[in-house]
A and B are shown apart, each in its own frame.
Chain A
């Protein structure tokens, strides 16, 4: 079946630094990818929709200047958390839309100290 990977699987960074998370569709092309955030013991909340070759669409309350999304190719979308703070510590999950299905990545656990 189709696979979506995320890199890194976990990352620890210091407050004020930036972190990049990659989401790759390994065996299919994804024109659309979604980024979700999941705080501990909470549900997944959509952050943004990423379309290849165009600007991402952000959900209300998500700062586009803080969470930079780039979808430069049909197999890769990146989420950069700029000037990370402890409150950005969360589990970030991407999903990629194939022709008829959507597939979730394994997630990236970000801890900001």
Chain B
């Protein structure tokens, strides 16, 4: 069975602080995909990143960076110099070897960035 755990339910930081959101996953598949989505109060999911299981390179996109470590089944997300607009719920998700499979979402981490 597939499972995604996000241990941090809520995080509060002050603007300009760095913050890391943790994600740990479980799967028996050797090929799988990991995702991060942002869900602002409007509810619409905003795609942030997709990573397949064979690509362990870390990725940086502006203030966002991701650290994928298969050895610990983790796919952590760091926001550098956080801003108030980063306040949202962030979901880590897993999809199986067939990319057309459904997503398994983690419970989400609610990030509040205070001015």
Show the binding face of A for B, using Cβ within 8 Å: 32, 34, 38, 42-46, 49, 91, 93, 95, 97, 100-102, 104, 106-107, 109
In the complex formed, the residue of A with least CB distance to B9 is: A41
The one of B43, B91, B102 that contacts A43, using a Cβ cutoff of 8 Å: B91
In the complex formed, the residue of A with least CB distance to B108 is: A43
Asked if B100 is an interface residue, CB under 8 A from chain A, the answer is yes
Chain B residues with Cβ below 8 Å from A97 are 99-100
Binary CB contact string for chain B from 96 to 115 against chain A (1 if under 8 A, 0 otherwise): 00011011111110000000
In the complex formed, the residue of B with least CB distance to A98 is: B100
* B106, A43: Cβ atoms closer than 8 Å: yes
* B43, A42: Cβ atoms closer than 8 Å: no
* A44, B105: Cβ atoms closer than 8 Å: yes
Once A43-B91, A44-B91 are accepted as A-B contacts, the answer to whether A102 and B45 lie under 8 Å apart by CB is no
Task: Please count the residue pairs between chain A and chain B whose beta carbons lie under 8 angstroms apart in the complex.
Answer: 43
What is the interface residue range for chain B against chain A?
10 to 19
Q: List 23 A-B residue pairs with CB atoms under 8 Å apart, sorted by A's residue number.
A: A32-B100, A34-B103, A42-B107, A43-B91, A43-B106, A44-B91, A44-B103, A44-B105, A46-B102, A49-B102, A91-B43, A93-B43, A95-B102, A95-B103, A97-B99, A97-B100, A101-B99, A102-B100, A102-B103, A104-B37, A106-B42, A106-B44, A107-B44
The one of A46, A101, A102, A109 that contacts B43, using a Cβ cutoff of 8 Å: A109
A44 to B95 CA separation, bound complex (whole angstroms)? 14
**Majority secondary structure, B binding face:** loop
Chain A residues with Cβ below 8 Å from B47 are 104
Binary CB contact string for chain B from 50 to 66 against chain A (1 if under 8 A, 0 otherwise): 00000000000000000
Chain A residues with Cβ below 8 Å from B91 are 43-44
A102 to B100 CA separation, bound complex (whole angstroms)? 7
Chain B residues with Cβ below 8 Å from A95 are 102-103
